[in-house]
């Protein structure tokens, strides 16, 4: 582990990414260039990060936040996202991040389960919070980034707070095991679970940022992931900044020309993106890539979903670069398996474990399986960025460990040269464009619609998104399917959960297959959708 980033047992992520970099002589170095959706650029030095995050730490302390209180960011990509995140961590407040496209139910579940005391958001998103605030007694502080005129009960304008708050803050000495970042992840049953990390995770993030992403001190790094997702915090904030590396953040969405311009004009050296985005680029006019000068680019990486070999071939022919796959998950906090530079790429495989990590394929009985056999992808626990628990759910956390292995929930194979090949999930969780969607959550949102009697939700293969969300819906007898109803269902899921969770296809049917204990048999629905044999249906309710 790279202990050089630590100073006198001070593991505080907020401190290391800001003050420590200044002390190292990087105060005036550009830490971030923020390029907004219109192409306007604003630069922030490490001294700016230090000041802004310290001010935020003081704001939270002034409100009475104490270590291990929970604070959330609910923002689109914008500079305040970074200041708030680092500031909360400086004050040893646990910081969670949420996607700005989350709907009310998604917000409520997370804020309620965590007992969050505060949240920072934007005026345009505030309504989603005010609608649910009466259900959240613990939520006392709502800070609004762009709401000068908004001071009201429990609602504070960031500008007003900043104007009266000091920008000097000394982070308390923070041990490696102190809780740090909180990301909620979806399972196939129950509500989303809060994956809690520790400040010491920074050791894994710094190690993998050099050993896998190959970041060098003078690099410009661009990670396209939203901060609502673990990649957006582990590598969109912590990894580069703990090493004093400068990064670009883009406030716009997917736009092939803007992205290519950004790579070219900002002279990005290392680019970290995702298969769905790369597949979208593959569909664009070749001329966009043929005319792009990517001479500054050294490496391209991908994460979140299987990287199909076609993307690698496309990268080689149109971008003249290899695309390196990386595998990790919210729980692991940092890259665990990768086709990293310097290691021969096997297109279609995720690669080999990162230095210091041990991975294995384990059978359902806990036995290690020989090479070539399909089984559960497991990791030997003990790495610094391993999550420390599921918030309020220690029992489920404990169940993830068996016979000395952490079970990732993915199924995979290992070939005889030690390369790992992703095969799927061992549960029903749907991976659409890199976002994990819980079929249970979508089914629950559907059941709240008055016309819906029962529903079953599955993931089906999709060329672009890897998987798409399919909803089977059985209506109450007095309703008949129609396009208005389809639209209503889609809107309802989007408003309640998120646009990502919204079903791509709605299939109306007369019954949902269930087993004798009433559990939805998604396997049977999937077989029905794929036109395949459903296999053993002996436990099915007739
Ligand atoms: P999340 O916790 O939301 O980051 O999702 C983690 C899950 O995404 C993993 O357990 C895998 O199922 C999937 N995943 C992440 N990276 C890859 C990859 N390189 N190849 C295949 N699946 C991946």
| pLDDT tens per residue across all 542 residues of the chain | 566 778 889 999 999 999 999 999 999 999 999 999 999 999 999 999 999 999 999 999 999 999 999 999 999 999 999 999 999 999 999 999 999 999 999 999 999 999 999 999 999 999 999 999 999 999 999 999 997 777 678 999 999 999 999 999 999 999 999 999 999 998 777 789 999 999 999 999 999 999 999 999 999 999 999 999 999 999 999 999 999 999 999 999 999 999 999 999 999 999 999 999 999 999 999 999 988 899 999 999 999 999 999 999 999 999 999 999 999 999 999 999 999 999 999 999 999 999 999 999 999 999 999 999 999 999 999 999 999 999 999 999 999 999 999 999 999 999 999 999 999 998 899 999 999 999 999 999 999 999 999 999 999 999 999 999 999 999 999 999 999 999 999 999 999 999 999 999 999 999 999 887 778 999 999 999 999 988 767 666 65
Q: Which residues pair with 303 in a beta bridge?
A: 326
pLDDT, tens digit (0-9, with 9 covering 90-100), for 478-507: 999 999 999 999 999 999 999 999 999 999
On whether both 403 and 437 belong to a single domain, the answer is no
Q: Which CATH number goes with the domain that contains 50?
A: 3.40.50.12780
**Does residue 416 form part of some domain?**
no
Domain boundary among 410, 439, 460: 410
**Ligand 1 in contact with 144 (CB < 6 A)?**
no
Mutation probe of ligand 1 site: the residue of 193, 306, 329, 338 with most atoms within 8 A of C-beta = 329
CA distance 42 to 35: 7
**Ligand 1 in contact with 304 (CB < 6 A)?**
yes
Q: Which residues pair with 74 in a beta bridge?
A: 98
On whether both 400 and 444 belong to a single domain, the answer is no
Q: Which CATH number goes with the domain that contains 499?
A: 3.30.300.30
On whether both 441 and 490 belong to a single domain, the answer is yes
**Does residue 421 form part of some domain?**
no
pLDDT value of residue 516: 75
Residue ID of nearest Cα to ligand 1 atom 15: 304
Number of structural domains the chain divides into = 2
What is the bridge-based pairing of β-strands 466-475 and 452-462? antiparallel
On whether both 264 and 191 belong to a single domain, the answer is yes
Measuring CA to CA, which residue among 388, 355, 379, 359 is closest to residue 204?
A: 355
pLDDT, tens digit (0-9, with 9 covering 90-100), for 167-201: 999 999 999 999 999 999 987 777 899 999 999 99
Domain boundary among 378, 410, 442: 410
Residues 18, 46 contacting (CB under 8 angstroms): yes
* Residue 230 alpha carbon, nearest atom of ligand 1: 4
On whether both 66 and 190 belong to a single domain, the answer is yes
The alpha carbon of 119 and the centre of ligand 1 are apart by a number of angstroms equal to 27
Domain boundary among 410, 442, 471: 410
On whether both 489 and 394 belong to a single domain, the answer is no
**Does residue 415 form part of some domain?**
no
CA 43 from centroid of its chain's CA atoms: 25
Q: Indicate the length of the chain as a whole number.
A: 542
**Ligand 1 in contact with 233 (CB < 6 A)?**
no
CA 402 from centroid of its chain's CA atoms: 26
Residue ID of nearest Cα to ligand 1 atom 9: 329
**Does residue 392 form part of some domain?**
yes
On whether both 340 and 463 belong to a single domain, the answer is no
Measuring CA to CA, which residue among 296, 295, 293 is closest to residue 218?
A: 296
The alpha carbon of 4 and the centre of ligand 1 are apart by a number of angstroms equal to 30
CA distance 363 to 371: 12
pLDDT value of residue 7: 83
On whether both 26 and 86 belong to a single domain, the answer is yes
**Does residue 541 form part of some domain?**
no
On whether both 144 and 291 belong to a single domain, the answer is yes
**Does residue 402 form part of some domain?**
yes
Supply the pTM of this predicted model: 0.93
**Ligand 1 in contact with 215 (CB < 6 A)?**
no
Which structural domain, as residue segments, surrounds residue 460? 430-530
């Amino acid at each position: 582990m790279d202990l050089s980033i630590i100073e006198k047992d001070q593991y505080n992520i907020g401190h290391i990414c800001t003050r420590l970099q200044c002390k190292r002589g990087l105060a005036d170095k550009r830490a971030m260039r923020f390029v907004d959706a219109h192409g306007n650029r604003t630069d922030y030095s490490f001294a700016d990060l230090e000041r802004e995050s310290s001010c935020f730490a003081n704001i939270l302390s002034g409100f009475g936040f104490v270590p291990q209180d929970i604070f959330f960011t609910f923002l689109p990509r914008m500079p305040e996202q970074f200041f708030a995140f680092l500031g909360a961590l400086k004050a040893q407040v646990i910081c969670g991040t949420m996607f700005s496209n989350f709907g009310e139910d998604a917000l409520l579940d997370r804020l309620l389960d965590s007992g969050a005391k505060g949240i920072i958001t934007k005026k345009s998103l505030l309504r989603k919070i005010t609608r649910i605030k009466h259900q959240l007694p613990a939520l006392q502080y709502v800070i609004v980034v762009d709401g000068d005129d908004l001071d009201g009960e429990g609602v504070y304008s960031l500008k007003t707070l900043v104007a009266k708050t000091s920008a000097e803050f000394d982070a308390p000495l923070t041990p490696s095991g102190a809780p740090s970042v909180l990301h909620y992840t979806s399972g196939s049953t129950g509500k989303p679970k809060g994956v809690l990390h520790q400040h010491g995770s920074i050791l894994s993030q710094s190690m993998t940022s050099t050993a896998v992403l190959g970041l060098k001190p003078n690099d410009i790094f661009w990670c396209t992931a939203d901060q609502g997702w673990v990649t957006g915090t582990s590598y969109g904030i912590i990894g580069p900044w703990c090493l004093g590396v400068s990064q670009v953040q883009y406030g716009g969405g997917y736009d092939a020309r803007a992205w290519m311009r950004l790579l070219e004009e900002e002279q990005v050296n290392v680019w970290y993106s995702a298969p769905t985005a790369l597949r979208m680029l593959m569909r664009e006019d070749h001329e966009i890539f043929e005319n792009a000068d990517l001479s500054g680019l050294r490496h391209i990486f991908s994460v979140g979903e299987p990287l199909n070999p076609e993307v690698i071939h496309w990268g080689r022919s149109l971008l003249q670069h290899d695309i390196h796959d990386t595998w990790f998950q919210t729980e692991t906090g940092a890259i665990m398996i990768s086709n990293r530079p310097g290691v021969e790429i096997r297109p279609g495989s995720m690669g080999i474990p990162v230095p210091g990590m041990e991975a294995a394929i384990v059978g359902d009985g806990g036995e290690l399986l020989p090479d070539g056999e399909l089984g559960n992808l497991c990791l030997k626990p003990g790495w610094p960025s391993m999550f420390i628990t599921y918030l309020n759910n220690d029992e489920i956390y404990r169940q993830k460990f068996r016979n000395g292995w952490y079970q990732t929930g993915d199924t995979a194979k290992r070939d005889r040269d030690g390369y790992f090949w992703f095969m799927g999930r061992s549960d029903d969780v749907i991976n659409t464009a890199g976002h994990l969607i819980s079929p249970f959550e979508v089914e629950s949102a559907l059941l709240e619609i008055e016309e819906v009697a029962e529903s079953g939700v599955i993931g089906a293969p999709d060329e672009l998104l890897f998987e798409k969300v399919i909803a089977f819906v059985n209506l109450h007898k007095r309703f008949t399917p129609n396009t208005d109803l389809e639209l209503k269902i889609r809107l309802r899921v989007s408003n309640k959960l998120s646009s990502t969770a919204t079903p791509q296809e709605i299939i109306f049917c007369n019954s949902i297959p269930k087993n004798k204990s009433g559990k939805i048999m998604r396997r049977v629905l999937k077989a029905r959708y794929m036109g395949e044999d459903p296999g053993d249906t002996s436990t099915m309710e007739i």
